[in-house]
Amino acid sequence: MSTDTQKPSSYSADIITLRESDQLVAYTDAVKFMENRVLEIATQGKAEMIWFLQHPPLYTAGTSANAADLVDPKKFEVYKTGRGGQYTYHGPGQRVVYVMLDLKKRGRDVRALVCALEDWIIETLAEFGIKGERRKGRVGVWVEKPDGSEAKIAALGIRIRKWVSFHGISINLNPDLSHFGGIVPCGISEHGVTSFKDMGLGTIMEELDVALQRHFEKRFGPLVAE
């Protein structure tokens, strides 16, 4: 990983391992891996980790999911998950980053973690000329489209076990946005979803990954490839 001379924020800690998967990862396999890693971090002092991956098309139901928001339960496989939030979609063209961080080293402050993850997304989007914003009462990162409407470009949902985080963020680069039609994303029906491609950008995944990793290091600490 590149070394940035900018001093990381006070939220940074030790070196963090970077895991990257080129092939689509089954959701159940990803959850099993995260649960094992979280246990190792919490009980064995294993290094923290972030994991860049993509999933095949699927829906996940967070702890606040409303069954009525599953509009088409037969469209894709639906997985119940212990992360916060409601229904969301994962699929090709969407960058998922799972974040396994030891909050015992980071102040045991879940709200601070969520804010830091949102800031990380917003700072990364800004590098591509996208103004990402928070919205009161809505989870994730939002943008204003050229027609003046608002849409969600990035989702966030985490779970904490033994003061170690898992699950994480997803950013829509160029997924098939029609796949969101089987759910009410995050329980918000009055606003849609968007992507880099939908916003008129031809950014490729490698470019997004470089920016994500650079801004992650500034905020959380140095990365070392697995």
**Residue 82: count of CB within 10 angstroms of its CB:** 14
Tell me the one-letter amino acid at 137: G
- Alpha carbons within 13 A on the beta-carbon side of 137: 3
96, 173, 184, 186: the catalytic one is: 186
Please say if 186 is a catalytic residue.
Answer: yes
Q: Specify the pairing of strand 150-161 against strand 192-193.
A: parallel
Place of tokens 């849409």: 151
Beta strands in the chain (DSSP E): 16-20, 48-53, 58-61, 78-80, 87-90, 94-100, 133-135, 138-144, 150-161, 164-172, 192-193, 223-225
Would you name the residues annotated as active-site residues? 186
